[in-house]
């Protein structure tokens, strides 16, 4: 009988990796798919779990009163501002959950700890989305009142740029915070890498930026989210790409620059940061609907 060749070292490592993480990866993917399907079909009434706390936070932050509009979200009649489903931030919630969960779950030791990180990733993503979206809407209200607009500098373009910068900054900060959180003593059994051990991993910038580009530009361009039919997708893609380049280029430049005279390599782990509010501006969202 012919001898069956043994599994190679690489194949064995892949098999062990899938056995150790496949179940949780599947659970995380299921969460993403369910959220995306829900958001793609949901109206304002279905998104009250996000729109209601968002409207209350915006009202508390800005002092602008909002009223619920049947099947339409929340509206400020005095300011002409609508917090509609497209302004809910669910796309950023999905993106943040994906970045936090999939970037770190394979480094966590036990199955129980991995399941805990699945739950915490969802909670952190929800809280961050509410906080950043509140700040974005408050900034957009203020920016809309500035006397800077013309044929080139339009409210929609300023709104899109401000949203992209803010959201990418929040994503980078969340990634850096999570990298510190998912370590002992809270998560024993953390599996370090050489890059993480040095604290200077380029992935601290590269990974969140690539996630952001992929979700906000790559998927819409492929037409997988229905956003390929949205008007202004080209301008949206150019804005996101420009902001991401402004973050990545300095990080790549600093890769070979000695830090503090010690000859080490340091990478930026924070930088600029994008979703949508629509005061009567026709403005574009960093996340196409």
The low-confidence residues of the chain, meaning pLDDT below 50, are 1-5, 196-199, 201, 227-228, 258-289
- Residues 277, 83: contact at Cβ < 8 Å? yes
How confident is the model at residue 256, as a pLDDT? 54
**Tally of CA atoms within 13 A in the half-sphere of 90 that contains its CB:** 27
Which residues, including other chains, have CB under 8 Å from residue 191's CB and lie 6 or more apart?
Answer: 106, 107, 108, 109
Domain residue extents for the chain = 11-279
CA nearest 236: which of 262, 217, 263? 217
For tokens 């915490």, the residue is: 120
> Can you say how many angstroms the Cα of residue 134 is from the centroid of all Cα atoms in its chain?
15
How confident is the model at residue 117, as a pLDDT? 94
Euclidean distance between CA atoms 160 and 235, whole angstroms: 10
Q: What confidence tens digit (pLDDT) does each residue in 210-248 have?
A: 999 988 888 877 775 554 455 568 888 888 999 999 988
How confident is the model at residue 229, as a pLDDT? 54
Instruction: Give the single-character DSSP code of 76.
Output: E
């Amino acid at each position: 009988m012919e001898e069956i060749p043994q599994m190679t070292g690489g194949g064995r490592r892949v098999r062990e990796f899938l056995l150790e993480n496949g179940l949780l990866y599947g659970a995380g993917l299921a969460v993403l798919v369910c959220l995306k399907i829900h958001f793609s079909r949901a109206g304002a009434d279905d998104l009250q779990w996000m729109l209601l706390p968002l409207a209350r936070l915006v009202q508390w932050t800005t002092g602008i009163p909002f009223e619920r509009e049947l099947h339409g979200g929340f509206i400020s009649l005095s300011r002409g501002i609508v917090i509609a489903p497209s302004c809910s931030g669910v796309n950023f919630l999905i993106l943040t959950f994906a970045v936090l969960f999939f970037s770190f779950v394979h480094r966590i030791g036990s199955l129980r700890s991995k399941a805990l990180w699945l739950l915490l990733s969802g909670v952190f993503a929800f809280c961050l989305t509410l906080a950043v979206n509140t700040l974005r809407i408050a900034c957009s209200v203020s920016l809309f009142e500035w006397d800077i607009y013309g044929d080139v500098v339009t409210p929609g373009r300023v709104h899109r740029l401000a949203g992209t910068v803010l959201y990418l900054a929040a994503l980078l900060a969340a990634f850096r915070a999570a990298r510190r959180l998912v370590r002992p003593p809270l998560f024993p059994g953390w599996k370090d890498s050489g890059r993480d051990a040095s604290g200077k991993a380029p992935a601290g910038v590269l990974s969140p930026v690539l996630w952001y580009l992929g979700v906000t530009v790559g998927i819409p361009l492929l037409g997988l989210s229905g956003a390929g039919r949205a008007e202004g997708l080209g301008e949206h893609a150019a804005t996101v790409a420009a902001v991401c380049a402004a973050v990545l280029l300095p990080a790549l430049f600093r890769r070979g620059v000695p830090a503090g005279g010690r000859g080490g390599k340091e990478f930026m782990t924070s930088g600029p940061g994008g979703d949508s509010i629509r005061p009567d501006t026709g403005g574009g969202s960093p996340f196409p609907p």
